[in-house]
Chains A and B, each alone.
Chain A
Amino acid sequence: MGGHASYRVTHETRYTYAGKVTSAHQLAHLQPRNTSWQRVVHHAINIEPQPAERADGVDYFGNGVVRFMIDAPHDVLGVIAESVVEIDAHAPDVAAASPAWEEALAPPGVWGPDTDLEVEHYRVASPMVPIMEESIAYARPSFAPGRPWLDAALDLTRRIHAEFRYDPKATTVSTQVSEVLEHRRGVCQDFAHLMLSCLRSLGLPARYVSGYVLNDVPAGEQRLSGADASHAWVAAHCPVLGWVAFDPTNGKLADLEFVTLGWGREFSDVTPLCGVVLGGAMQELTVVVKVEPLVA
């Protein structure tokens, strides 16, 4: 695949509370990340009501964050992030050559003087991504000894797509990978966590990617799942190909239709909007995401 694409992304989050919230501290991961193949042309976040304090920063993983605090009593919180990005094609050809998947394992017992920490961050378990026998057992059919890395990882991506049902009612933000494996249902976040658990349990470095997928498709083509909200997929690291992104929800490599917000070990590292409030209980949460292609 070649070429490039431009999108305008609008991500609107609206919390409605039962009763007034007197104080709110929030942390937003809503700013698309600049990478070698993605440029952020425009980005703005509007917050209602006006925050008393707001500060931009960069998190541990290099993602842009906005922290803000509202101390005026309010019963609705609206956050609108608007971004324009340009993306170059960057996914490898599905038939590209890659080394045996075992090449991506950490060399046993050696910590050379030139460790690539960018990779090492993503080898260990994290709260939502357990290392466990069940994940190895599920991944094993895709990872026969000596099988090329890209081939194996893409096979796992496709198997998750084929063997799990997309079902927003089946899970919540705190659903564990073991439950997803058992019930074979979930949403993009669950499938990403499952695939991460499979890869890391085998010893392969892999990270969680938060972003959007194009929801405006030509007539006749099937829309991709997860297109009306924020999306999540996986990037795994190959010693030859570098980071390659796989979308287990749609069973394919992630490329031009995918806008990357940022990455971390798991969902909780890059939650689009999270926070703590004093006062009113949450009544309703609505999230509307629009990804519009721009004609160059």
Chain B
Amino acid sequence: MLKTYPDSDGRFDELFEAPQQPRAHWLRFFRALTATSAQDIRARLAAAERQIRDSGVTYNVYADPQGLDRPWDLDVLPLIIAADEWREIEAGIAQRAQLFDRILADLYGSQSLLQQGLVPPKLIFGQSGFLRPAHGMNLPGGVHLHAYAVDLARSPDGRWWVMADRTQAPSGAGYALENRLIVSRAFPALYRDLRVQHVAHFFATMRDSLQHFAPKGDGPVLTVLLTPGPYNETYFEHALLARYLGFPLVEGGDLTVKGGRVWLKTIGGLKRVHAILRRQDDTFCDPLELRSDSALGVAGLTDCARRGSVLIANALGSGVIESGALLGFLPRLCEHLLGETLRLPSIATWWCGEPAAFADAIDQSKRLVFKSADPAHRFDPVFGEDLDEAGLAALVKKMKLQPERYIAQEFVHVSQAPVLARNQPYGIVARGIGLRVFAIRSQSGYLVMPGGLTRVASGADKRFVSAQRGGGSKDTWVTSSGSVDTSFTLLRSTVSASDLVRSGSAIPSRVAENLFWFGRYEERCDDSARLLRLALNQLLDNDDDEDSIEPVLALTREFSLTEEGEDPESALLAAATQEKSPFGLHGNLRNLEQVAFTLRDRMSMDNWRSINLLVKDPIFGQQVSLPEALDWLDRTINGMMTLSGFALDGMTRDDGWRFLSIGRRLERLSFQCLALQVALQHGRASGLTWLLRLADSVVTYRTRYMARPEWLPVLDLLVLDSANPRSLRFQANGVYSYLMKLEDTYGSCGSELMRPCVEALEGLDPARDLQPENDHLRNTIDMLRSTAFALSDGLSHRFFSHAQTNVWATLGR
């Protein structure tokens, strides 16, 4: 199996200390692996891949033609690090985090480091990450840096070096967690036997520390996770962390500033936000003070930070540390600020703003890589070894104008680690790796996650190790010499009554609105597909001799699928299979897909994919025959049934689910009313089988009556039968009971509008009223339909008006 594993070629090899000689801490894993059959490996790999697919782990790669939602690339072989080596790394990272926190406090406070010449002012003042409005903020607990991540690489001599620091909104901890869940299941025995240190404690500390440092007041501490939204490359991780930590996942538009405080717009009104774990870059956080061309963000957030009324992790402006230019100054700063020697060395870095360093870097250009000193400036790294004389001269000329904007760095020949090759037969190959490690500020200093995200070079250019460039990842196992604290999970051992979660009380208005519309569009797609199938079937073989096709066509017109005067067959085919048909099936599916996309953190990836597949179905835009169109409609209806099955089985019955259900039922209620109105208008001459078919009630009817459809029993089944899920009464009762349930929490939600409808249905006398000419029946149906519209408006006004997206128009700049 290791036949394919190459020699290290001058690199450090994580697995072997000499050819085929595993290092001590790998020995056990190595023996187990070599004793495992290829078949067994295949099975573990397949299980891991299934788990990735099922949990929907994705990473959006901007540069990837596959676009959104590339499945997460995880190698099941962990990187193993011995306990004693880890202790060094751990101490170095905690020290570094503390150092950066102190540097930030100085830069955004007294600036004595600049004044005393310990850091060149130009290095800081020229950074776009240095945010002047963030100066002089009153930070809760005085902490700038809550979450910190660092990228490490190991050089051929076995030492770990810091390649880069992540101080603004570090990503990856959630992926590390997900990798752990998957890989520990792939090798459960080894995971236990190697006494791998657990990571759950790290996340619990993150949750508790934010709560500890957050300002208090206006109810229990509410921490939210601020995401730029589903298009962000690490959105999956935002959703995962939010769920794992129990924080609402919010976008900028879900928050508002009033009275110098930040509030979450929920269906229960405004709720004070005490802490924000942000995954949004700081320049996008506040269109008023940070970046006027950003329509995103929360206007006034900077001022709240200034007042100290909200904890923002990390503090606004903390990104300034991410400039590589500081690296060379850290040893001195560490001595100065902490009185300690810097434990973890940074990769050798020249800041070109220093003339002597600039000249030196040019002299050694062959072994250096030139980069921007400012992460916000677009400048692709240039490897000195790739440049000829003219190329170097051009680079120097460019840099000379503003040398402070550039750094030169050595590049490390990163270590290699074993990776399971995907192609058959399963072999083990070597890939370059880097390690991202995470730290969180706790009440007693910085806590380092034991483990981290090992990143695997994609292979194309081994000099890069980057998820954004399409590399893979690994779990990281830190073995322990003592016992492993297995008692810990994020779930508290005892939950007291005051800890009980009132489900859904903090559902953002935007989410509730999207759930409501998900319900409506899902039902509307189903209704459109069923109606189109019915109409096309009737065109194909009108075997119900007494059934005229006229009412069905009238209904397709009423439902905006076709128009008066069109040829029925081509109009129906267009509505079913053409993209440009304005109110056709495609438009409804697309609306459904868009809403589903915004709800990805609430429903499984499979749901979104199945809708996405329908929208992208190759049938759209083709010339199709009638049978092909019918086949397509069958598929659509099946897809919708799967989706509604998910809503029925897969969602917690919280208020969010109630909004989804109300949306579906209002939509179905209004559609069934419309169908009945059309049927009643056409009267006794037109037959009734179509109506039963449309309501999916043919079987029920035949079982009950063994007879041809007649008005009294059909109307009873479709209007009054409270056991038939497509009857008006079933829908009306459902909507009414959901509204009553919501009113327990939120006060009036519109049940008073629905009650007369429920009573009117109860008041219908089958013997007297269930006839097509009956006015009482007609009026009741009319009232139900207009009430469905009124309720939809009323709910929007009552719950979703907050959800108005903050599209800020900027003035004066």
Q: Which residues of A contact B (CB under 8 A)?
A: 15, 22-23, 25-27, 52-53, 55, 57, 59-61, 67, 69, 71, 106, 108-115, 117, 120-121, 123-125, 131-133, 173-174, 201, 267-269, 271-278, 281-282, 285
Distance A69 CA – B811 CA, assembled complex (angstroms): 14
Assembly CA distance A108 to B355 (angstroms)? 7
Q: How far is the CA of A282 from the CA of B126 in the complex (A)?
A: 34
**How far is it, in angstroms, between the C-alpha of A201 and the C-alpha of B400 when the chains are bound?**
11
CB distance from A2 to the nearest CB of B (A): 36
Considering only CB atoms, which chain A residue lies closest to B132 in the complex? A60
Number of interface residues of B (CB under 8 A): 44
Nearest neighbor of A13 in chain B, beta-carbon distance: B812
- A117: B residues at CB distance < 8 A: 111, 114-115, 121
Beyond A117-B121, A269-B132: 7 further Cβ-contacts under 8 Å?
A15-B811, A60-B133, A71-B258, A113-B117, A173-B813, A274-B811, A277-B811
Of the candidates B300, B804, B809, the one having the most CB atoms from chain A within 10 angstroms of its own CB is B809
Also in contact, A67 and B809, with CB within 8 A (given A124-B125, A276-B287): no
For the complex formed, measure the closest distance between the CB of A38 and the CB atoms of chain B, giving whole angstroms: 23
Cα A99 to Cα B807 in complex, Å, equals 52
Q: Which residues of A contact B259 (CB under 8 A)?
A: 53
B806 interface hit (Cβ, 8 Å): yes
In the bound complex, what is the Cα–Cα distance between A114 and B807 (angstroms)?
46
Q: Which of B111, B117, B260, B299: most chain A CB closer than 10 A?
A: B299
The 0/1 profile, CB within 8 Å of A marked 1, for residues 118-145 of chain B is 1111100110000011011000000000
B786 interfacial by beta-carbon distance below 8 Å:
no
Given contacts A71-B258, A115-B115, A276-B809, contact A120 B121 (CB under 8 A): yes
Q: A52 to B809: give the CA distance in the assembly, Å.
A: 20
Question: What is the minimal beta-carbon distance from A108 to any residue of chain B, in angstroms?
Answer: 5
A193 to B504, CA, bound (A): 52
Q: Which residues of A contact B125 (CB under 8 A)?
A: 120-121, 123-124
Known: A108-B355, A276-B809. A131 touches B402 (CB 8 A): yes
CA–CA, A124 and B259, complex, Å = 36
C-alpha spacing A274/B806, complex, angstroms: 17
Contact B811 A275 (CB under 8 A): yes
Residues of B within 8 A of A275 (CB): 288, 810-812
Are B257 and A276 interface neighbours, CB within 8 A? no
> A-B pairs with CB below 8 Å: how many?
118
In angstroms, Cα B400 to Cα A132, docked, is 11
**Cβ-defined contact, B300 with A69, below 8 A:** yes
- Find out whether the CB atom of B120 lies under 8 angstroms from the CB atom of A111: yes
Q: List 5 A-B contacts (CB under 8 A).
A: A111-B117, A120-B125, A267-B813, A278-B807, A285-B811
Residue of B nearest to A121 (CB): B125
Chain B residue with the shortest CB-CB distance to A124: B126
Near A by CB (< 8 A), chain B positions 700-725 give none
Residues in B neighbouring A27, C-beta threshold 8 A: 288-289
Task: List the 8 shortest-distance A-B pairs measured between CB atoms, nearest first.
Answer: A274-B812, A111-B117, A276-B808, A120-B121, A60-B132, A124-B126, A25-B299, A109-B355
**Residues of A with C-beta under 8 A to B122:** 106, 120, 123-124
Q: How far is the CA of A133 from the CA of B397 in the complex (A)?
A: 11
Looking at the complex, which one of A109, A115, A276, A285 makes contact with B114 (CB distance below 8 Å)?
A115
B523 within 8 A of A: no
Contact B813 A113 (CB under 8 A): no
Report the minimal beta-carbon distance from A111 to chain B, rounded to whole angstroms: 4
Q: Which residues of A contact B811 (CB under 8 A)?
A: 15, 26, 273-277, 282, 285
Q: Which residues of A have CB within 8 Å of B402?
A: 125, 131
Residues of B within 8 A of A115 (CB): 114-117, 121
Q: How distant is the Cα of A271 from the Cα of B114 in the complex, in angstroms?
A: 27
